[in-house]
Homo-oligomer: A and B are copies of this chain.
Amino acid sequence: MSSIPCPERLLLGPGPSNLSTEVREALASPMIGHLDPAFLALLDEVQAMLRTLFGSEEAWTLPLSATGSAGMETCLINLTEPGERVLIGQCGVFGGRMREIVERLGAQPIVIEAPMGESVPTQAMLDAIERERPHVVAFVHAETSTGVAQPVESIAHAARSQGALVVLDCVTSLAGMPVRFDEWQIDAAYSGTQKCLSCPPGLSPLAIGPRALERMRARKRPVQSWYLDLSLIGGYLSSKRVYHHTAPVSAIFALYAGLKRVIGEGLEKRFERHVDAHRALVSALTPLGFQFPVNDQERLPMLNAVVPPYDDEAEVRRRLLLEHDIEVGGGLGSLAGRIWRIGLMGENACRESVEKLVRALESFT
């Protein structure tokens, strides 16, 4: 049908994941205006479904018109002013990116680093909150570069009790494991569409709580970025529908269809499916000599950091891609050449994905 010169792959890397037929059909829908009442009604529904996914009754949710990395930047630059202290829990590449964003906005990052392949120790974060009295505490729920899950609740509560705002990176966790915005007392969270939502990359779902909105309203100076200024974006999403930029209509159609699928399946069932696929992967890859370096309690189900048993891991990945149309991810940053990142996300979180991968790997021996 399509003239796009790309083969069909099974995407078992760190994202994007494969699209459902429903999402592909939604993408191909006729274009409509970004101020059309029919589109605005659909956008309202997207925002409501995002509230369900983030686990929030009262957060303001929206699909930001850029990828997950822009979601990170948006949350940090809207809630922080130059000179303020931002405590960052870093257990991989994405915590490092937070630091860079905070530095660029002229604020002061304070970084607590996790030992490699582990989560950031809660006690170290609690001590730093007590000691540094940060304005904002930011960390990653599911670190895509290491496959580590970060415990959230105690850190968020401690931050709150000191008056700090809590920013949580849910790029890889949303729609694949529980995110409880209200219960955990998060103030701002962001995600991406191309991971457990199985939509195309290009949007960043955001949730912004009432304390964060209050902090934004009390800012002394405007946010440096015009495009990512949530107070301006809010004008379009409010009942006033003030034009800010042209919303990416097709991507929002895809997100609508993807969210319908998630809610149709049921969140708990979807989370279990991710855990089940992860267990199948462990059972299947361990006999082949793969190691799972992240300890069992901190392991993400949807993003599996594994040590492959090959002398030339890049060559095996290349053959998987070119001979079997299966993508798995390599290591990022200092882990390049040392680990694989096997994603079992959204549509791909199933035993069939695992079986196809194992069959391909076995064919090499």
Footprint of B on A, CB under 8 Å?
A: 1-9, 11, 13, 15-19, 22, 24-34, 36-39, 41-42, 65-70, 73, 97, 100-101, 104-105, 192, 194, 200-202, 222-228, 243-251, 253-254, 256-257, 260, 321, 327, 332
Partner of A248, one of B30, B41, B67: B67
**26 A-B pairs (CB sep. < 8 Å):** A2-B25, A2-B26, A2-B29, A3-B260, A6-B29, A6-B42, A16-B34, A24-B30, A25-B28, A27-B250, A28-B28, A31-B200, A36-B321, A65-B66, A68-B245, A69-B227, A69-B244, A70-B227, A73-B226, A101-B226, A104-B223, A104-B224, A105-B224, A201-B250, A250-B254, A251-B251
In the complex, residue of chain B having the shortest beta-carbon distance to the beta carbon of A25: B2
Assembly CA distance A22 to B4 (angstroms): 10
Partner of A226, one of B1, B2, B97, B223: B97
> When A66-B70, A73-B226 are in contact, do A246 and B15 touch as well, CB less than 8 Å?
yes
Asked if B245 and A248 make an inter-chain contact with CB atoms under 8 angstroms apart, the answer reads no
The residues of B that contact A332 with a CB separation of less than 8 Å are: 243
A326 to nearest B CB, angstroms? 11
A3 to nearest B CB, angstroms? 6
> When A4-B42, A24-B28, A251-B202 are in contact, do A104 and B225 touch as well, CB less than 8 Å?
yes
Besides A2-B253, A9-B30, A69-B227, 9 other A-B contacts (C-beta < 8 A): A4-B29, A6-B36, A7-B32, A11-B32, A15-B246, A27-B250, A65-B66, A68-B246, A250-B251
In the complex, residue of chain B having the shortest beta-carbon distance to the beta carbon of A32: B6
